[in-house]
Amino acid sequence: MRVLGIEKASFTEDFSFVEVQLRTDQSQGLTLEFSTNVLQEALVKLAAVFHSVQTDALAKGNKLDVYSANVADANVQASKGTGVVGLGLSTEDGLTQYFALPVDLSAKLRQNLIKAEEIALSQSSQTRQ
């Protein structure tokens, strides 16, 4: 059985369990129930496996299609007294991830974003001509 996607995910009122309904290549889907601790462990292990797949594929020169969520909003603010910059990214599907960036990494990210933005604008203007 191959998993083709996630149909639905929900959690119990007391937040102790998560139910995930998977779309499969079989006529019926598959529903799994995880305790939040087991789900967290599974996600960490799957992320590590996926990182290895990405690293190995790219090291061998293979192109790897990676799912990228479309970001709908971004928030940035300085965290008081911590010396870090808080970055929040919200996706179109409603998920928000928060990151604490040391100031030097924030500066590096800012410069990389400026360069990438210039390239993206240049490429988009070339395709319109």
Structure confidence by residue, pLDDT tens digits, 74-114: 999 987 888 899 999 998 888 888 889 999 999 999 999 99
Same domain for 51 and 83? no
Q: Which residues, in sequence order, are bridge partners of residue 2? A: none
Q: Would you say residue 19 lies in a domain?
A: yes
Question: What is the pTM assigned to this prediction?
Answer: 0.55
- Higher local confidence (pLDDT), 14 or 128: 14
Same domain for 48 and 7? yes
Q: Would you say residue 66 lies in a domain?
A: no
Per-residue pLDDT tens over the stretch 14-64: 988 999 999 999 888 899 999 999 999 999 999 899 888 878 877 777 776
* Distances 96 to 11, 77, 103, 123 between C-alpha atoms, Å: 17, 15, 21, 29
- Total number of domains in the chain: 2
The count of residues in the chain is 129
| pLDDT value at residue 107 | 94
Same domain for 55 and 81? no
Q: Among residues 86, 85, 92, 51, which one has the least CA distance to residue 70?
A: 92
Q: Would you say residue 65 lies in a domain?
A: no
- What is the span of the domain harbouring residue 18? 3-59
| pLDDT value at residue 70 | 87
| pLDDT value at residue 128 | 66
Q: Would you say residue 64 lies in a domain?
A: no
Neighbours of 99 (CB within 10 A): 14
